[in-house]
Amino acid sequence: MLLIVVSVLVAISPPIDRQHGRLTVHFLDVGQGDSALIIFPQGRTMLVDGGGDLRFGRSTGNESRPDRPDESEPVFSDSAFSIGEAVVSRFIWSLGRTRIDYVLATHAHADHIGGLSDVVRNMWVGQAIVGHAPAVDSEYDRFVSTLKWRKRLLTSVSAGQRFEIDGVAIEVLWPPPASGISVTSGNNDSVVLRLIYGSTSILLAGDIEEPAEEALVKSGIDLHADLLKVPHHGSRTSSTKPFLEAVNPRYAVISVGERSRFGHPHITVVNRYRELGVRLFQTGRDGMVTINTDGSSIDIRTYREERRLRMED
């Protein structure tokens, strides 16, 4: 079966439960990578990235499935430590869920797209979404191979598109439509989403760096958000002052390991947020960060705080 990339978002129904009118975003602790599970007000779900940087043992091709001789499944080492399975899938299962309506890969780097392949293997997935589809990229190819095996639809999105899920408006701010033969899916090609629910907004900035941030600011589009998923793990090549001033967040979440081998988040960037009065959260330090909003107020809780409260009880 051919995997067709289309540019429409298919409405998937029904959701498995209700959220009582609240939008929830779980920023998972996946080490250096990114992964955020969005639960919309009527129960639909979207997984944005799936971590995956710490996989040891790679896919070597396809092997036959003895239970389904007419199908083949990508091979994964049994000894591999997979963030997508050990962290992301297990968290979703812990919520009593076995389906994800949408999975979105912001770009093709292993610490973002790698874990999504495991989620697609483990869950019923309605639709997969990407930005730029690179001509040559092993991580992207593995993701596409898994989608083919699952016979799932792959959708492409780009700047200027707007959708609505359960009353939440989703604006695609980046990347611009791909042009030319040598299409890439690197940091500055990341899908950037702005979620608007009532009077609250959340900006998911992928791994964009200074060039993309500058282009977004110069475009004049509305970047304001109450909460910002910090671009590129807080690297010193991102979170430029003009970009932060345009977003003007009250809160920001850095998805990064407690001891990043890349030196993230950079102290200069951390100080930049503090100088602007932004309250910072960091998954490697605080554990999973969960945002709840009814469209007018925002509640933020961390795994570390929840654990402390349980211990006090």
Cα-based distances in Å from 35 to 38, 70, 97, 165, 243: 10, 33, 17, 19, 22
**In this predicted structure, what is the pLDDT of residue 260?**
61
261 confidence band (pLDDT: 50, 70, 90): low
Cα-based distances in Å from 164 to 154, 169, 306: 18, 4, 32
Helix (H, G, I), strand (E, B) or coil at 118: helix
**In this predicted structure, what is the pLDDT of residue 68?**
38
Q: Which of 179-188, 215-224, 259-268, 294-303 has the lowest mean pLDDT?
A: 259-268
**In this predicted structure, what is the pLDDT of residue 148?**
96
Question: Which residue did the predictor score with more confidence, 62 or 283?
Answer: 283
Q: What is the distance between the alpha carbons of residues 132 and 294, in angstroms, rounded to a whole number?
A: 33
Q: What are 23-74's pLDDT values in tens digits?
A: 999 999 998 889 999 999 999 999 999 998 554 444 433 333 333 333 344 4
Q: Which of 93-97, 137-141, 198-202 has the lowest mean pLDDT?
A: 137-141
pTM for the full predicted model: 0.86
**In this predicted structure, what is the pLDDT of residue 50?**
96
Amino acid in position 141 = D
9 confidence band (pLDDT: 50, 70, 90): low
Instruction: Find out whether 32 and 52 touch, Cβ atoms under 8 Å.
Output: no
Average pLDDT over residues 255-264: 68
Q: What is the distance between the alpha carbons of residues 311 and 272, in angstroms, rounded to a whole number?
A: 34
Return all residues near 123 (Cβ < 8 A) that are at least 6 apart. Answer: 89, 92, 97, 98, 99, 100
Average pLDDT over residues 231-251: 96
Helix (H, G, I), strand (E, B) or coil at 249: coil
On the question of pLDDT at 218 being above 50, the answer is yes
Q: What are 131-168's pLDDT values in tens digits?
A: 999 988 899 999 999 999 999 989 999 999 999 999 99
256 confidence band (pLDDT: 50, 70, 90): confident
CATH for 18-55+75-312 (2.170.190.11, 3.50.50.60, 3.60.15.10, 3.40.50.2000): 3.60.15.10
The share of the chain scoring above pLDDT 90, in percent, equals: 70
Average pLDDT over residues 169-178: 96
On the question of pLDDT at 19 being above 50, the answer is yes
Question: Which residue did the predictor score with more confidence, 177 or 305?
Answer: 177
Question: Which residue did the predictor score with more confidence, 309 or 50?
Answer: 50
| Residue-range domain boundaries for the chain | 18-55+75-312
Cα-based distances in Å from 184 to 17, 142, 175, 190, 205: 38, 16, 11, 10, 17
- Residue 9's nearest CA partner among 52, 40, 35, 33 is 40
Instruction: Find out whether 147 and 89 touch, Cβ atoms under 8 Å.
Output: no
What angle, 0 to 180 degrees and rounded to 10, lies between the N-to-C axes of helices 110-122 and 138-150?
Answer: 10
